[in-house]
Amino acid sequence: MAFAGRRDVPEPPDFGILKRLARDQLIYLLEQQHEVDKLYKVDSRPALSTSDQFCFLVRPRIKTMRYIADIVNADKMSGRSRKYKIIFSPQKFYACEMVLEEEGVFGDVTCDEWSFYLLPLDEDIISMELPEFFRDYFLEGDHRWINSVARALQLLNSLYGPFGKAYGIGRCAKMSYELWRDLEEESESDGQGRKPEIGNIFLMDRDMDYVTALCSQVVYEGLVDDTFRIKCGSVDFGPDVTSSDKSIKVLLNAQDKVFSQIRNEHFSSVFGFLSQKSRNLQAQYDRRRGMDIKQMKNFVSQELKGLKQEHRLLSLHIGACESIMKKKTKQDFQEMIKAEHSLLEGVDVRESTSFIEEHIDRQVSPIESLRLMCLLSITENGLIPKDYRSLKTQYLQSYGPEHLLTFHNLKRVGLLTEQAAGETLTAVESKVSKLVTDRAAGKITDAFNSLARKSNFRAISKKLGLIPRVDGEYDLKMPRDMAYVFSGAYIPLSCKIIEQVLERRGWLGLEEVVRLLNGNEFSVSDSTVEDNPTWESQRVILAVFLGGCTFSEIAALRFLGKERGCKFIFLTTAITNSARMMEAMIEAKA
């Protein structure tokens, strides 16, 4: 297929152990300790069970605590006595206990923690399954999950040995790193002196690069995620894909022999591959003609099962492709991609703006409209006030006035801003600064900056050469750089930064880019780890995305790894895409 890559790419560490650990730990908690025999799903409806023992496995959220407290109090009122156990995952928060105390059920309920931090989704992807990280940190400015990230790093460190070199950029990256080092210093880690399996770690905040996450995905795995939503490494293919009346749940990972060959491909080359594959399959089936009995017996016992499996997978992915095509043609996908590319390149901005306007007016999709507006804003360093007002008004008219709240949220995180907005921010800043010492003022400026940073996308893009020069057609089947994940139009910024830093073994020479990204970069070598270049681990890099990572970025770095003879492993707070990011910004009922 498209990238042959280098042969000497190192093997990734075995994540099977993580999965087993998590599973055993949960089973231990549920069965051995609490003798749970059935699981219910925490739901908005009242639990009607006759069981005399309730065990709740929950996220540490205040709302959930209230729900549980209501159950306990209702039982108390009706004179019913039960045991209640809350298992918090991944950890218990003080605020939750405060609620239990306030509701008068503290003491009636016992608490435990399931310190579940890492879910291996594939042989190179670990997810923390914390989709709420994005909103909690970037919108609300809440640091509650930083501890979880630090603990996840600690766990990886203890299982796979120390990381020799740590790089990072972003405020959250820096804090997570510091907290993790703190934890390490405190515990006499048994990982020291071990042969490291992961040589490098790179931490990055999602707000370093919103652009990439906002683009329409065109590599197969990303497209499947955008269209059908991959959840926890599996996807529900509906009747339109399975061409039957039922849905099928499919696990999407390296084990799927068909999927593993097309996941990183640009969508345009997937068709060709699938039809070639079908022809091969047909040929293999056809071989049974003219077989004698013995050969036939062999065929049935040895090959048929594999062929059938492959056949099933092939027809599923072909069905998925068809369904994607159908949906995308309906949505003017071509036109949309064209508009996106113009925005990335910074040409024909007027045309793109009216494309977005029409998209809104036709009520095509509230999420897509929002995404395109954000992309326009970030690439242009904010909308000009006239456009901002008119697009906002039309959006509210098309999709509902309550989205006023959404716009406010987007402004706060800096995803959708008005060009003049920077001035009001500075006004508040200077007003506050007068009140306090210089040191504190610096902190405040930092805090403001983190909330609504100027994107400076155009300048960064120029500096790093993110828009490849087109000389002739970009051959998507034989990609020459990471831009292939966006049809050759754009090299994902996040991946480019990682590439550059690894190449330079630090930030030297990237000062201007760092300044445009608002700093907070770091690069630390662990002195206890020998810098032994012969170790394979030197070529294994753990890429940590704080706030989510897209399949396009994963594909791009996989490509880079194959080109450079290194291996990327991904640790992300959650798999994300543009729709998930937009949805996280929408206000919903309490």
Partner 1 sequence: MSRARADEEEYWHSSKFRAFTFDDEDDELSQLKESKRAVNSLRDIVDDDDDDDLERVSWSGEPVGSISWSIKETASSSTSSLEGRDSGLQKGSSSYAAFPKQVSSYSLSSLFKGRNKLPSFQSLSDALSDTGVKNYAPELRRPKAEYKDYSSDWSPKDTVRRMQRGKVCSLERFRSLQDKLVLLDEAVAGHDGNVITAVLIFLKRTLRREILFRELEVRQVALCHLIHFLKEAGEQKLLLDLLRFLDRTEEVALSQYREHLNIQDVEKRREFLKGCIGLPFSAEDTSHIQDHYTLLERQIIIEANDRHLETAGQSEIFRKYPRKASILNMPLVTTLFYSCFYHYTEAEGTFSSPTNLKKTFKIPDKQYVLTALAARAKLRAWDDVDALFTTKTWLGYTKKKAPIGFHRVVEILQRNSAPVQVLQEYVRLVEDVETRLNLATKYKCHDVVIETYKDLKDRIQLTAYKCKVERGSAEEEKINSILNNMQIRWKN
Q: Do β-strands 125-127 and 119-120 pair in parallel, antiparallel, or remain unpaired?
A: antiparallel
CB of 358 to partner 1, least distance (A): 7
Preceding amide of 10 cis, omega within 30: no
CB of 273 to partner 1, least distance (A): 29
Enter the tokens of residue 332: 């003017």
Q: For partner 1, which is the closer residue by CB, 563 or 583? A: 583
> Taking Cα atoms as reference points, which of 147, 38, 74, 44 lies closest to residue 546?
147
CB of 130 to partner 1, least distance (A): 10
Cα distance between residue 60 and residue 529, in whole Å: 37
> Taking Cα atoms as reference points, which of 580, 589, 590, 564 lies closest to residue 138?
580
Sign of CA dihedral 419, 420, 424, 430: positive
- Helices 404-413, 366-379: crossing angle, 10 deg rounding: 30
Cα distance between residue 444 and residue 30, in whole Å: 45
Q: Do β-strands 165-169 and 521-525 pair in parallel, antiparallel, or remain unpaired?
A: antiparallel
Sheet strands (E) in 156-283: 165-169, 200-205, 234-237, 248-251
Q: How many CA atoms lie within 13 A of 547 on its CB side?
A: 29
Chain centre distance of CA 74:
40
Q: For partner 1, which is the closer residue by CB, 101 or 530? A: 101
Cα distance between residue 491 and residue 485, in whole Å: 8
* Three-state secondary structure readout of 168-188: EECHHHHHHHHHHHHHHHHCC
Please list, in sequence order, all residues whose beta carbon lies within 8 angstroms of the beta carbon of residue 17, skipping any fewer than 6 positions away: 159
Q: For partner 1, which is the closer residue by CB, 359 or 496? A: 359
Q: What is the DSSP string of 350-374?
A: HHHHHHHHHHHHTT--HHHHHHHHH
Q: For partner 1, which is the closer residue by CB, 243 or 393? A: 393
CB of 411 to partner 1, least distance (A): 10
Only one residue has tokens 């020291």, namely 192
CB of 106 to partner 1, least distance (A): 5
Q: For partner 1, which is the closer residue by CB, 198 or 476? A: 198
Q: For partner 1, which is the closer residue by CB, 62 or 296? A: 62
Q: For partner 1, which is the closer residue by CB, 113 or 563? A: 113
Name 56's bridge partners.
86
Please list, in sequence order, all residues whose beta carbon lies within 8 angstroms of the beta carbon of residue 234, skipping any fewer than 6 positions away: 249, 250, 251, 252
CB of 304 to partner 1, least distance (A): 29
Q: Give the DSSP H or E segment for 261.
A: helix 257-262
Enter the tokens of residue 80: 């019913």
Q: For partner 1, which is the closer residue by CB, 214 or 582? A: 582
Q: What is the DSSP string of 411-424?
A: HHHTSS-BTTHHHH
Q: For partner 1, which is the closer residue by CB, 261 or 331? A: 331
CB of 87 to partner 1, least distance (A): 9
CB of 491 to partner 1, least distance (A): 30
Q: For partner 1, which is the closer residue by CB, 193 or 306? A: 193
> Taking Cα atoms as reference points, which of 41, 48, 115 lies closest to residue 78?
48
CB of 561 to partner 1, least distance (A): 27
Cα distance between residue 338 and residue 579, in whole Å: 19
CB of 74 to partner 1, least distance (A): 15
DSSP state of 137: I
Q: For partner 1, which is the closer residue by CB, 130 or 211? A: 130
Q: For partner 1, which is the closer residue by CB, 269 or 573? A: 573
CB 573 within 8 A of CB 545: yes
Q: For partner 1, which is the closer residue by CB, 304 or 396? A: 396
CB of 283 to partner 1, least distance (A): 36
Only one residue has tokens 């594909």, namely 555
**3 state SS of 325:** helix
